[in-house]
Amino acid sequence: MAEKSFKYVIVGGGVSAGYAAREFVKQGVQPGELAIISKEAVCTYERPALSEAYLSPEGTARLPGFHVCVGSGGERLLPEWYTEKGISLILSTEIVKADLPTKTLISAAGDTFTYQILIIATGSAVIQLTDFGVKGADAKNIFYLREIDDADKLVEVIKAKSNGKAVIVGGGYIGLELSAALRVNNIDVKMVYPEPWCMPRLFTAGIAAFYESYYTNKGVDIIKGTVAVGFGTNENGEVTNVNLKDGRVLEADIVVVGVGGRPLTTLFKGQVEEEKGGIKTDAFFKTSLPDVYAVGDVATFPLKLFNEVRRVEHVDHARKSAEQAVKAIFASEKGTSIEEYDYLPYFYSRAFDLSWQFYGDNVGDSVLFGDSSPTSATHKFGSYWIKDGKVVGVFLESGTPEENKAIAKVARVQPPVDSLESLAAEGLAFASKI
């Protein structure tokens, strides 16, 4: 079995790994010093493309079009770029054992990798209905979406079942984006979720009311307040129907499940400190072990702006945490220091012809502003969250780049507000003057 040794190893080849690689090169990594080990067969790419442009009927997004760092307007790093820079991209290689005290990783094929400095960038895995023993959940044509192989399977089934029926289980990010993507592909779509409204972790009832009506007008049938408890199959083992807890039975040729993810930390259990379900780091993404860093979805880090530790499963943080960790590694080698990570949470989503952005924290009171009529041709609306007399979070649908910049600034500056009524009446104008 092969044994390879590198100065720096990144385990995981997703968004953070790609942005880390670019930062390693900026910092002057030498050929042969860095390896990225990834379970996936392709080099690092912008994962959010999988639920949006990848599934469009025109199939507009395909690799190599969306390798990192195009998602943030940067250079597209093709496999040749890694070769040119002397970075070893070790693909289709799953690490199955990590022994951090001896700085050793072992792959499923039995290869051994040793390192001086490790960056853990393993991201998240989807929660599967089979994990809860849901009857029939292992049927054919029940899909999840995390990696490019999953997206390829979806593209195939969308073609094979054209004009078919899909049931989307879950009303979060993936549920909303996938319902739209399948509807645009002319599939009959039903969405099922237990909560009183979609995306309850972020949306207020007022925000959700817009999206639910908009989706309904696009032909998506939304079924709330119940869950999928079983699936029926035909003689080929393909899904035929979804049984709901409230007794209803929905016909389905395709089922897509988006019920959340969990950070992939199992390899490191008991070897590094954990907190809030992730690997605990400092403001430089250093874990409790010397020479081991954790970035992206797996890291639980100090969120300075809110004075608490958090784990964030969003692409913007994956990019920025990776860059911060690499800068910190080089600073510590040079005996210099860098600023602490001072992150402003930023999430976004696009579906149909909608596009929203959110900055800050969705805690405290909230006010809705603008035109949130789902049938209005000029809909543009948002929400402010106010805590301790200050605006701490802002959401905006259909903002221009300047307006999105303005709401980001509000969330960062946290201006005081006198009255919620006048804030609601002022709406976007409040953000534009900060």
Q: Is 224 exposed, middle or buried (0-12, 13-18, 19+ CB in 10 A)?
A: middle
Minimum CB separation of residue 97 from ligand FAD in Å reads 9
- Closest alpha carbon to 229 in 177, 192, 175, 176: 192
Binding piece for ligand FAD, criterion CB under 6 A, among 144-152, 154-162, 368-376, 387-395: 144-152
Minimum CB separation of residue 418 from ligand FAD in Å reads 33
Residue 141 pairs in a beta bridge with: none
| Cβ-proximal residues to 403 (8 Å cutoff; 6+ apart), any chain | 396, 428, 431, 432
**Per CB under 6 A, 347 contacts ligand FAD:** yes
Q: Between 181 and 244, whose beta carbon lies closer to ligand FAD?
A: 181
Binding piece for ligand FAD, criterion CB under 6 A, among 5-13, 77-85, 164-172, 378-386: 5-13
**Per CB under 6 A, 50 contacts ligand FAD:** yes
- Closest alpha carbon to 394 in 375, 377, 380, 408: 408
Distance CA 172, CA 151 (A): 18
Size of residue set near ligand FAD by CB under 6 A:
36
Q: Between 66 and 384, whose beta carbon lies closer to ligand FAD?
A: 66
Report the residue number whose CB is nearest to ligand FAD. Answer: 14
**Per CB under 6 A, 25 contacts ligand FAD:** no
| Distance, C-alpha 260 to centroid of its chain | 10
Binding piece for ligand FAD, criterion CB under 6 A, among 36-44, 195-203, 207-215, 232-240: 36-44
**Per CB under 6 A, 95 contacts ligand FAD:** yes
For residue 401, give both structure tokens. 């780049």
Determine the 3-state secondary structure of 345 from DSSP: coil
Residue of 6, 8, 9, 16 that binds ligand FAD (CB under 6 A):
16
**Per CB under 6 A, 39 contacts ligand FAD:** yes
CA atoms within 13 A on the CB side of 191: 33
Residue of 3, 94, 273, 342 that binds ligand FAD (CB under 6 A):
94
User: How many CB atoms are closer than 10 A to CB 163?
Assistant: 9
Angle value at C-alpha 404, between 401 and 406, nearest 5 degrees: 110
Residues near ligand FAD (CB under 6 A) are 11-17, 37-40, 47-48, 50-51, 94-95, 121-124, 145-147, 264, 267, 296-297, 313-316, 318, 347-349
